[in-house]
Structure 1
């Protein structure tokens, strides 16, 4: 059957006969569902980006093929439920990305132009994620696959099971990682469509761009391909058998493999990117030694600032005086802090200043790597977004112990909205507690700094805080923020700072 081109169809609409998900010769309910979702009306506050994602996903899955002509702008805008202006903005963005080309003349219009797939793009996307972002994507992927498989086992036709198996075979026979990735994406979409759920299919198409693109990193390796194909075939077999419970387990196994291997690959890629400039002696040491070095340097900078602040103020201090003293103490040392440091500043003891019950000075790292003064903290207790730091561990513990403290990992809601560790040191003069000097460290930055050791570990390697909460991990089983069970048989090594330990276990045979 000749593949019917869009321009041959009435009104330039998408073909309604030929199956765009080759190599199958007849359309399926799953394919029809996918097309209805991809080219159905959009419900979003940002129609331009929504159109870009829809068309980019259609190209990525191979539903829109290289050289295929898009419908006329008026027809496509009407199908998607967006204005002509929004559609033109989206097409302009797709042209800039090299995904379509617009021609003038008798056969003018916009044509799909799939660029050569670059594995480096997938690598950049993977290494650009934090460990928690990858975990969250994996959680969402598991939710969709397991539930879709469970429903498909109860609702799918034999033809849908055949197509699922065919996509596994297509992945096995693919000659490039990009072609294998498209086969995996089609498998996931077909599974959702076989569940006969429009909402699952919409969610699956949205996740394709975020997750399945990353898997291209794995699909270059024949060992990974064989393992993925085996689990895909197991899913299709359980769906065909109508065994919903077994289909759920098979879907879970497929996702667990993908997320586990992506986690390992991510650490290896980050470690490889960290192998450039820098003292080689740091790469030859142990993760415990590197943690001790980072901790010692961080506390050393805080001690220098704290000494300057304590020596520079008079008692009782004023806010104007404290402002100048803190700035003169912090600014000269910003060049010494590690790249993983995200913020530095001083928080005054509550009620220290008569003119301001709460008072702080803070500097936050900007996108260009420099530090800018941060005025975003609301210190008026009468307002809803008041930043009440007085009861936080990073102030109360140094006050109580007179020692450095590390609080975290915790999510800085309303701030950077990411996992942080706050290292703080008490500042005192003449026996009076003035407040704390703090350094914020992003967990993602700490992981990047320690990735060579995490990637090189033969088995499980974790960094735990004083409450046995996971700070860093190279294993999918243990995620940032998890509390390690007391029954764990991991061997522990004391870091010597903040109650942190490194937990290890040999690789399972």
Structure 2
């Protein structure tokens, strides 16, 4: 429910109109663009990641490299500066000088592990979906268009993977396999997409490929793809490609939860994880809802007796920040008044949200003028209507907060009343990614499936890639279920003890 925040200022100024429909919000959302320097740095990292440039290799002369990449000398120098700051290259002066690749031992794996722990389950699934679609199409085209020599090269790379001497070497072999697969399909667009995919997804596999069993499993799947390409069997090529990426995404998801759990240890293992998870979710919901209720007790009289919006704003802000600033996973917090409650303002809200460094800042980007095309009519939103109509705390979501945090969010809201008169709501936004970190230990430690569902059986949190946040669980058959006691939420698991 939050609007997009500024990275620089604690107080957020009104921004451009926010499209109303989901499709419009996607189409007119922030463009994913990079400046030339960033694009050059990405391409050089990819060249190193694929093994085209090895450790201690010298990069081409700056003038030649800028010409080859079609960028200015300024953009190239900017990219080289960024890579030097990351410790990926070193530049030496003198007759035999230039820029050289400098890879620290096991740096790639450590970086992959760190990043895997940071990204959300939704991001990982999106990357996996894109990687799978790309690989399946490449395999299909290679089976139709590939030559015998292309198939032989793919087979050779598949045989090399199990004997790789490090995770980074294995990842380079994996990347080269996919680049050769795209080349075998004779598609320049797919080949260019592979370079981007290696930077976006493939390097994450370094977190897995230090283990012999993962290298062996990937090698077998790669060999099946290569054999299907050689035999011109498009169906087998597509199925084997989907199996390879499905295996990697599943293993990465499990490793990711384990990494998060190590950093945020709270839970208990095995079958007891399901029991502990129910108790932990219940305690979390109870704490956050009671804080909101305390705010309501202070804010409702302020709303009912408001004489102007400015004076009201100061009182509401004090109540919000004192009581909610320390609560975990809270991304946004605020009060939204019922229509015509605040004199001079038919619509009135006070909303605070966290910036990039975690601080809470006032968000003033919501447009509350009904005469504007970008009017934000919060009074029609589900998070406002449901607590107003039911008279009790409600949790809405998870839903994608387009135009806000561009991530999955759960909004918890309580009705505010002065005696019998409804005067508005107090609400908090909970980022699903932060909720997942908070409950990661229980999710990672469970023996089987463990999921938190909302009242509509939509998944809020899950430890399986089969059902991710936002998905609807069609049936709980074969699963144990336990009610949380708040918002109609329930915990389902395949472990015993719930």
- Note if contact 1:334-1:371 (Cα within 8 Å) is conserved in structure 2: no
Q: Would the alpha carbon gap of residues 324 and 113 (structure 1) be closer, same or farther in structure 2, given more than 3 Å must change?
A: closer
Q: Which of residues 36, 45, 59 is equivalent to 1:56?
A: 45
Q: Would the alpha carbon gap of residues 276 and 486 (structure 1) be closer, same or farther in structure 2, given more than 3 Å must change?
A: closer
Q: What secondary structure, in the 3-state scheme, does the structure 1 residue paired with 2:204 have?
A: helix
Q: Counterpart of 1:307?
A: 297
RMSD: 2.0
User: Counterparts of 1:90-489 in structure 2 under 5 Å?
Assistant: 90-118=79-107, 119-275=109-265, 286-315=276-305, 317-338=307-328, 340-486=329-475, 488-489=477-478
- Poorly superposed stretches of 4+, deviation over 6 Å: none
- Note if contact 2:416-2:423 (Cα within 8 Å) is conserved in structure 1: yes
Q: After TM superposition, give the deviation of residue 325 of structure 1 in Å.
A: 2.8
Q: Would the alpha carbon gap of residues 444 and 380 (structure 1) be closer, same or farther in structure 2, given more than 3 Å must change?
A: same
Q: After TM superposition, give the deviation of residue 95 of structure 1 in Å.
A: 1.6
Q: Which string of whole-angstrom CA distances, capped at 9 and with x for unpartnered residues, describes residues 132-174 of structure 1?
A: 0000000000001101001101111111111112112221111
Q: What secondary structure, in the 3-state scheme, does the structure 2 residue paired with 1:114 have?
A: coil
- Note if contact 2:273-2:445 (Cα within 8 Å) is conserved in structure 1: no
Q: After TM superposition, give the deviation of residue 89 of structure 1 in Å.
A: 1.0
Q: Counterpart of 1:497?
A: 486
- Structure with bigger RCO (C-alpha 8 Å, 6+ apart): 2
Unaligned runs of 5+ in 1: 1-43
Q: Distance in 2 between matches of 1:335 and 1:70?
A: 49
Q: TM-score, with normalisation over the residues of structure 1?
A: 0.87
- Note if contact 1:461-1:474 (Cα within 8 Å) is conserved in structure 2: yes
- Note if contact 1:421-1:442 (Cα within 8 Å) is conserved in structure 2: yes
Q: What secondary structure, in the 3-state scheme, does the structure 1 residue paired with 2:447 have?
A: coil
- Note if contact 2:325-2:360 (Cα within 8 Å) is conserved in structure 1: no
- Note if contact 1:313-1:321 (Cα within 8 Å) is conserved in structure 2: no
Q: TM-score, with normalisation over the residues of structure 2?
A: 0.88
Q: Distance in 1 between matches of 2:437 and 2:204?
A: 19
- Note if contact 1:153-1:241 (Cα within 8 Å) is conserved in structure 2: yes
Q: Distance in 1 between matches of 2:264 and 2:194?
A: 34
Q: Would the alpha carbon gap of residues 265 and 167 (structure 1) be closer, same or farther in structure 2, given more than 3 Å must change?
A: same
Deviates more, 1:89-98 or 1:249-258: 89-98
Q: What secondary structure, in the 3-state scheme, does the structure 1 residue paired with 2:301 have?
A: helix
Q: Which string of whole-angstrom CA distances, capped at 9 and with x for unpartnered residues, describes residues 201-246 of structure 1?
A: 1111111112111111111222212111111111111111100011
Q: What secondary structure, in the 3-state scheme, does the structure 2 residue paired with 1:216 have?
A: helix
Q: How many pairs are equivalent?
A: 460
- Which structure's CA Rg is the greater one? 1
Q: What secondary structure, in the 3-state scheme, does the structure 2 residue paired with 1:398 have?
A: helix
Q: Distance in 2 between matches of 1:141 and 1:406?
A: 34
Q: Counterpart of 1:65?
A: 54
Q: After TM superposition, give the deviation of residue 386 of structure 1 in Å.
A: 2.2
Q: Distance in 2 between matches of 1:501 and 1:477?
A: 18
- Note if contact 2:339-2:346 (Cα within 8 Å) is conserved in structure 1: yes
Q: Would the alpha carbon gap of residues 336 and 487 (structure 1) be closer, same or farther in structure 2, given more than 3 Å must change?
A: closer
Q: Would the alpha carbon gap of residues 45 and 461 (structure 1) be closer, same or farther in structure 2, given more than 3 Å must change?
A: closer
Q: Distance in 1 between matches of 2:393 and 2:324?
A: 19
Q: After TM superposition, give the deviation of residue 487 of structure 1 in Å.
A: 6.9
Deviates more, 1:340-349 or 1:164-173: 164-173
- Note if contact 1:302-1:437 (Cα within 8 Å) is conserved in structure 2: yes
Q: Would the alpha carbon gap of residues 383 and 164 (structure 1) be closer, same or farther in structure 2, given more than 3 Å must change?
A: same
Q: After TM superposition, give the deviation of residue 488 of structure 1 in Å.
A: 4.4
Give yes or no for the alignment of 1:87 onto 2:79.
Answer: no
Q: Distance in 2 between matches of 1:115 and 1:276?
A: 34
Q: After TM superposition, give the deviation of residue 506 of structure 1 in Å.
A: 5.0
Q: What secondary structure, in the 3-state scheme, does the structure 1 residue paired with 2:380 have?
A: coil
Q: After TM superposition, give the deviation of residue 362 of structure 1 in Å.
A: 1.0
- Note if contact 2:229-2:237 (Cα within 8 Å) is conserved in structure 1: yes
Q: Distance in 2 between matches of 1:107 and 1:313?
A: 74
- Note if contact 1:52-1:91 (Cα within 8 Å) is conserved in structure 2: yes
Unaligned runs of 5+ in 2: 1-32
